[in-house]
Amino acid sequence: MDCPASAGRPRFDMADIVRQHRAELEARATLSPEQARVLSAIALCRTEALGGHVDVCRSCGYKQPAYNSCRNRHCPKCQALAQERWIAARSARLLPVQHFHVVFTLPGRLRSLARFRPREVFDALFQAASETLLELGDTRLAARLAITMVLHTWARDLRWHPHVHAIVSAGGLARDLQHWIPTRPRYLFPVRVMGALFRGKMIARLRDLHDQGVFAGFDEFDDPEGFERLVARVARTRWVVYAKQPFRQALHVLRYLGRYTHRVAISNSRFTAVSSEAVTFRTRNGNTVTVTPFEFLRRFVTHVLPDRFHKIRHYGLYAGASTEHALAVACLRPAAPQSPAPTHDVSKEISWITLLFHLTLRDVDRCPNCGDIVEHIHVPATARAPPHRAVR
C-alpha cells in the first residue's frame, strides 16, 4: 500500500494535463515506449484505477479514500518517501567530513547528440566527470575521494539541459590507506582545470562511441567530416564546471543531495495557472513561463530516462562495497566526530504509515475529526498497470 496524497494538495495536478492533452501530444509527436509508460503512470497515479483503501471511522462516520501511487520515478507525486528511504540508506555510508557540490554541464553543441543516444552519452558524461574528480584527487592530493553523482536533464523551464550534480568529499584516503588527507577548507580544485580535464575525457569517450558506430544515423554525421567538425568546435570552447563551498555538517549533505536525487523535471507546486490553452509554471527568482499544454508535455517527455538507467551513481570511497570506505572511516574516527546516527529507521521494510508520521506528524491510523482508530478497507484496482508498449 502506498502513501496517500497529503492533505495540502497543490491547486494544479500534472496528471490532469496528461489526461486532457496526451492525445494531442501523440498525434503530433512520436513517443518512445518509456515515455508512453510514464504518461500512463502519471495519469493513473492515486486514482481508483490503481486501488488503495478507504479510511473509515466508526465513531464519527468519517470516510476518506486513499488511492495507491504509481511509484514511477518521473511522477511528481511519488518521490517524497523514496527520497527519505534513500537518505536513510546512504547515511550509513556517509563519511563524517565536509563535502563540496560540483556541477558538470554538457555543452550546448552536444545536447542534440545526447537526445539522439541518451544512454550512451549520459554514461560517457558520468564517466568523464567521475574520472576528472578521481584523477585530480590522485594527482593533487595523492588521495582517493568519495563521490556521489546525480544526473539531471532539465533547466527550470524544462528545456533540454543535461548536467551532473556531484557531492565530493573534502579530502580522501591516502595511497598508503593509513591516513586521511583533507583539502583546503574552502577549495577543492581549480574550476578551469576541472573543465579542461572534463572536456578532454568527454571528447575521448565520444570518439570511442563514434568509432563503435553508436552515432550512426545522426543527421549531423551524414557528412563524413561532421563528427570532426563538432569535436573541433566543442574543443575550442570552455566547458563549465561549477563548484560550491563545502557543507558544514556531513548529514546536511544528504538532505541537500536528497533534493536532487529524487527531483523530477517539475513538481505540482510549481504550477501557477493551467487551462485548456496554456500552462504557466514558476522558474527562478519569481519568474514564470507560459507554454501550450502540448509544448509543456513535449518538453516533459524529453526528460524521461531510458529504462533501468541509473541516474544516481557512486565512485571512489562511496562505490559499492569498497573496503577503502571502511579504512577511511577508521582513519577519520580520531580526527572527526562520527555523524549522529539517524533517529529513525526508514529502511525499505518500514511501512509508509510510520514514515509518513515521521515526515508530517500525520497519523493515518487515527481519525482527523475525533481521534479514534480508523479502519483501512482495501479497494481493489480497477485497471491494469501502465502498458509496456505505447498504445496507439
Tens-place pLDDT, residues 343-354: 444 444 555 555
Closest by Cα among 334, 335, 358 to 346: 358
Least confident of 92-96, 100-104, 109-113, 132-136: 92-96
What does pTM read for this prediction?
0.84
Pairwise CA distance, residues 362 & 349, whole Å: 20
C-alpha distance from residue 77 to each of 14, 87, 262, 267, 321 (Å): 9, 18, 11, 8, 32
- Between 327 and 341, the more confident residue is 327
Q: Are 86 and 79 in contact (CB under 8 A)?
A: no
Confidence (pLDDT) at 356:
53
224-236: average pLDDT: 95
Q: Is the pLDDT of residue 317 over 60?
A: yes
Confidence (pLDDT) at 53:
81
Confidence (pLDDT) at 219:
92
Tens-place pLDDT, residues 56-107: 888 888 888 888 888 888 988 887 777 777 777 777 788 988 899 999 999 9
Q: Are 260 and 165 in contact (CB under 8 A)?
A: yes
Closest by Cα among 297, 247, 252, 240 to 274: 297
Confidence (pLDDT) at 176:
92
- Between 360 and 93, the more confident residue is 93
Confidence of residue 120 (pLDDT cuts 50, 70, 90): very high
Q: Is the pLDDT of residue 289 over 50?
A: yes
Confidence (pLDDT) at 3:
43
* Cα 132–Cα 158–Cα 70 angle in degrees, nearest 5: 95
Confidence (pLDDT) at 255:
72
Query: Percentage of the chain surpassing pLDDT 70?
Result: 86
Pairwise CA distance, residues 89 & 230, whole Å: 42
Provide the b/e sequence for 322-358 (b: ≥16 CB within 10 Å).
Answer: bebbebbbebbeeeeeebeeeeeebeeebebeebbbe
Confidence of residue 1 (pLDDT cuts 50, 70, 90): very low
Confidence of residue 390 (pLDDT cuts 50, 70, 90): very low
> Read out DSSP for 202-256?
HHHHHHHHHHTTTTTT-GGGSSTTHHHHHHHHHHTSPPPEEEEPPPSSHHHHHHH
132-138: average pLDDT: 98
Residue 377 dihedral angles phi and psi, to the nearest 5°: -95, 120
Confidence of residue 362 (pLDDT cuts 50, 70, 90): low
Strand partners, 184: 187
Confidence (pLDDT) at 153:
96
Pairwise CA distance, residues 373 & 376, whole Å: 10
Pairwise CA distance, residues 130 & 142, whole Å: 16
- Helix or strand (DSSP H, E) at 381: none
Q: How many CA atoms lie within 13 A of 290 on its CB side?
A: 7
- The CB density around residue 290, as the number of other CB atoms within 10 Å, is 13
Strand partners, 316: 146
The SS3 of residue 292 is coil
Tens-place pLDDT, residues 157-200: 999 999 999 999 999 999 999 999 999 988 899 999 999 999 99
Confidence (pLDDT) at 288:
96
Confidence (pLDDT) at 335:
56
Confidence of residue 4 (pLDDT cuts 50, 70, 90): very low
